[in-house]
Chains A and B, each alone.
Chain A
Amino acid sequence: MEPHDQPTRRRGLTAIDGALALITILLVVQMWLLTATLESYLAGHHEVVLPGAIVSGVLFLICAGLYLFIRRVDAEARGSSRNENGQKPEQ
């Protein structure tokens, strides 16, 4: 691996770490939302169930989008190192 390849990888790892942190925060919000929705449902407040499911779905889509972003960053970082080295970094 070439030395000038390192910043690209570091940037990639930073982006992945940021997305990972964001996914973690969204997941905590989603856990709270599920708990709150269940408590409200058991208490007979059926009107909160649909908004809860919609918001939970939106949070899941954001998480899935961030995962696709991570995959893309990962692929780009690997692709750049492969071009500069002329071989796969795994080998």
Chain B
Amino acid sequence: MKLFRPAGKQPLWKDEFSINRADEQYVSRRQFTKFLVLTSLGMFAGNVWILARSWFSKGTLVYPEKNICRATDVPVGGVWLFRYPTEKDACILIRTDEESFVAYSQKCTHLSCAVYYARERNRLECPCHEGYFSIKDGSVLQGPPPRPLPRVVLERREDQIVAVGMTVLQET
């Protein structure tokens, strides 16, 4: 069977259906390639977006003083959820004994799941990937989190608990 004939010897029906299969293959591959390259451009744009967010978020943190709660609001072993330094930053305050309060960012340093206080084990736990943090200094006890939890610096002014800043335990 002869697949390729000279233009003058093509069957009559090909005049009506003037589609060349080889040319169509070229065009479809080229269009698909163009789609893939545009997708690649989208991936690059995503990386640039992350880079821009990273750059513009640096050096803009300010830590205002903020009243969290009254000491009598939280029983020993109890927790108080609040937001600090901005409304987007969830934090957790724990009353460890009559006179001691500690507070940490509630975002796990692994993938930002919310950590909670496990009273029976006296530690902060992330339910997503079982990352555990010390209640004493926020250091990582177990699991995938790469860094300690940022700690909220607290001051007690009479009966009022006030957040005045944040610190991160330096890894050794």
Contact = CB atoms under 8 A, between A and B. Distances in A.
Interface of A: 1-3, 5-6, 9, 12-13, 16-17, 19-20, 23-24, 26-27, 30-31, 33-34, 37-39, 41-46, 49-50, 52-53, 56-57, 59-60, 63-64, 66-67, 70-71, 74, 77-78, 85, 87, 89-91
B40 A77 contact: no
B29 A1 contact: no
B51 A53 contact: yes
A49 B51 contact: yes
B58 interface: yes
A71 B37 CA distance: 13
A33 B48 CA distance: 12
Among A16, A26, A43, A64, the one with the most B-chain Cβ atoms within 10 Å of its Cβ is A43
Contact of B4 (A5, A42, A53, A66): A5
Interface string B40-73: 1101101110110110001000000000000000
Contact of B50 (A53, A60, A63): A53
B26 interface: yes
B32 interface: yes
A1 B47 contact: no
Given A34-B47, A53-B47, A67-B37, A2 B6 contact: yes
